[in-house]
Amino acid sequence: MRTAPAPEETPSIVDGFRLLLPFARVGRATYLASAVTALLGTLCQLGPFYVVYLALLGVVDGTATTDDLYRLAAIAAAFVIAQHGLMAWSTWLSHRAAFATLEQVRLRIGDRLGKVPLGFVTNRRSGEIQRTVNDDVERLELFLAHAIPDLFAAAGVLVITTTWLFVVDWRLALAALAVLVVCVPIMAFGARRGTDQLGEYHRSLARMNGSIVEFVRAMPVVRTFNRSEEIFAETRDAIDDSARFQAEWGRQFLPTFSAFYVLIVSNVVTIVPVGAWLWLTGRLGTADLLFFFILGLGYLVSVTRLFEFTTQLTHLTLAANLVLELDEATPLPEVDERVELGAPRVTVDGISFSHGPLEPGGSPRRVLDGVSFTAEPGTVTALVGPSGAGKTTLAKLLCRFWDVDDGTITVGGVDVRRMPGEQLMEQISFVFQETFLFDDTVAGNIRLGRPEATDDEVEAAARSAQADHFIDRLPEGYETRLGERGARLSGGERQRIAIARALLKGAPIVVLDEATAYADPENEAALQDALSELVAGRTLIIIAHRLSTVSGADQILVLDAVDGGPGTIVERGSHHELVAADGLYARLWEASELSERVSLGDAVRGDDREPA
């Protein structure tokens, strides 16, 4: 597994290449061809200089003819044409390989995010993940499509040109290289100074991007309460802080970078006096002097390309680190071979579970402790209790969104950790409280439960979920696109689409997390009938705050986080047994009945009469 330096560390050039080069492993033949082609193209750039050198030799010694000069001009033109052709071909090769690599990286990340524990995703702002998948992956293109061929070509030409200068005259070659003695330390100092603040730079970008995404998604709530100015304050501060940091960072770079770029092209101050002295003393020919004036004065420009990459390398290294954090995130361990399953019975035996720390360096937070129960096929098991008792976490553990810390969860008599994730998901349909619908058609969203389902099967599932009535009223019926996150539908309509999706899947175990929370009174009874039909031969586990919806459950499990500790089952039994026990469930039931009897109109008027 590749490991990048932490953001606070200063990555060396070797560390950077060790981290970045593996991204080019797939398609390495194309990258190599691009680098070689770029080198040949850059060498062709030296061709006209060599032609000029030959012309100078002929002119100085008086042997050049008009035909010779025309021929040399044609050769120079051929070099120019070859240079541009080769560089264009190199660019096409490198970008073709780079875009294929970026595609594979994004696909791998998408696949990996579907296999990691859910907490890996939920503990991060969606804007941070989005920035990594979009921006940081895209930043790798700078290395793959540009740095690989450009650096190969720049380094190759620098070595060849330097060798050429020494062959012509070693004394002037040393004079041409003298400025590097000053430039290299300046380059190293500038790169190191920028890298020291690179971690803070990327943290400011992550905060800004995450805050912007969160603000945009919260816009309906923000505008409803007319608090856009206050809520935007955090986003504005993040934007301002990022802008101030980048401006200050740029000001710190300016003196160093300016000095480097001035000095790297100033070898005229060494070549001209040394060359003039050698020529005046007869130790250097006129053609060689002119050759150094033409080629030697500008050949160190290639060093600027190497310098620019070293400054970019720190950004690329951190971007690669963030990409690898997603690309190589540790997935939940899985077995490969499918197992033989028994009846769709769910058994939870003494499980405990802790969420990871909310902040780096924090302690894990215990959510559930010592929870045990069995949900039999053809029965309804209800999970109720106060908010924060761990009901939704328990339901998600059944689907193995995380692995338990202690105890076991078995489905069909097999530990969920001992069966492939695909097989486990075939056994369970999960309807979330917060329903997610794709920007697809109604039929497409329902068919997610079983892609090969026919239109008749999709419509039958919709009818069972009491969704067919509002679907028929949509402009294009089942072919109506629902918009991003199902924006064209109400909350209750979105939930019924999700229930239809679960019905179509036909899994033997169904988990409903407040699936009827948005159902209107008119359709709630019909929806309960549909769910009753769904239970036949299946195992239904339902989370509910509206206790009237689960009063007929075969067993009701009451979870509570006693004294702020982890959630545990404090009561279990049927509705009548729990009411008679006069415990937590009885109090919740009494409060539920009271809330349904209270008149909202009386509350608005401040009427304190007893409810009828």
pLDDT tens-place string over residues 482-522: 777 667 777 777 878 888 888 888 888 888 887 666 565 66
With 60 as the cut, is the pLDDT of residue 261 above it?
A: yes
With 90 as the cut, is the pLDDT of residue 78 above it?
A: yes
Instruction: Provide the β-strand partners of residue 431.
Output: 512
Q: Can you state the percent helix, strand and coil of the chain, rounding each to 5?
A: 65, 10, 25
264: number of Cβ within 10 Å: 21
Least confident of 19-33, 46-60, 570-584, 588-602: 588-602
pLDDT band at 69 (very low <50, low <70, confident <90, very high): confident
pLDDT at 432: 76
pLDDT band at 553 (very low <50, low <70, confident <90, very high): confident
Would you state the structure tokens that stand for residue 602, as one six-digit string?
A: 């009386």
pLDDT band at 246 (very low <50, low <70, confident <90, very high): low
Over residues 241-262, the mean pLDDT reads 70
CA distance 255 to 199: 22
pLDDT at 10: 47
CA distance 144 to 547: 58
For β-strands 555-561 and 380-384, DSSP reports them as: parallel
pLDDT at 406: 92
With 80 as the cut, is the pLDDT of residue 378 above it?
A: yes
Domain boundaries, the chain: 13-327, 346-605
- 599 or 299, greater pLDDT: 299
pLDDT band at 612 (very low <50, low <70, confident <90, very high): very low
CA distance 204 to 352: 37
Over residues 182-188, the mean pLDDT reads 72
Tell me if domain 13-327 and domain 346-605 are identical in fold.
no
For 21-147, where are the alpha helices, taking DSSP H only? 28-61, 66-113, 118-122, 126-131, 137-141
pLDDT at 89: 92
Question: pTM value?
Answer: 0.62
204: number of Cβ within 10 Å: 20
Over residues 83-95, the mean pLDDT reads 90
Least confident of 100-114, 290-304, 489-503: 290-304
- Comparing C-alpha atoms, which of 573, 517, 572, 510 is closest to residue 542? 510
With 70 as the cut, is the pLDDT of residue 367 above it?
A: yes
Residues 280-291 as b or e (16 or more Cβ within 10 Å = b) = eeeebbebbbbb
Q: How far apart are the first and last CA of the chain?
A: 68
CA distance 608 to 250: 65
CA distance 417 to 192: 47
DSSP 24: G
Over residues 284-289, the mean pLDDT reads 80
pLDDT at 126: 57
Residue carrying structure tokens 């002037």: 172
Residues 6+ apart with CB under 8 A from 255: none
Sign of the four-CA dihedral 407, 412, 414, 418:
negative
CATH topology for 346-605 is Rossmann fold (3.40.50)
Least confident of 142-156, 310-324, 436-450, 513-527: 513-527
Query: What is the CA 274 to chain-centroid distance, rounded?
Result: 56
On the CB side of 484, CA atoms within 13 Å amount to: 1
Residues recorded for the chain: 612
Over residues 230-241, the mean pLDDT reads 68
DSSP 298: T
Q: Are 465 and 497 in contact (CB under 8 A)?
A: yes
CA distance 562 to 41: 74
448: number of Cβ within 10 Å: 17
Over residues 522-551, the mean pLDDT reads 72
Residue carrying structure tokens 């549909």: 530
pLDDT band at 75 (very low <50, low <70, confident <90, very high): very high
Average pLDDT, the chain: 77
Over residues 352-361, the mean pLDDT reads 69
Over residues 278-294, the mean pLDDT reads 81
With 70 as the cut, is the pLDDT of residue 584 above it?
A: yes
pLDDT at 349: 92
Written out in words, the top-level CATH class of the domain with range 13-327 is mainly alpha
pLDDT band at 5 (very low <50, low <70, confident <90, very high): very low
563: number of Cβ within 10 Å: 5
- 29 or 436, greater pLDDT: 29
With 90 as the cut, is the pLDDT of residue 599 above it?
A: no
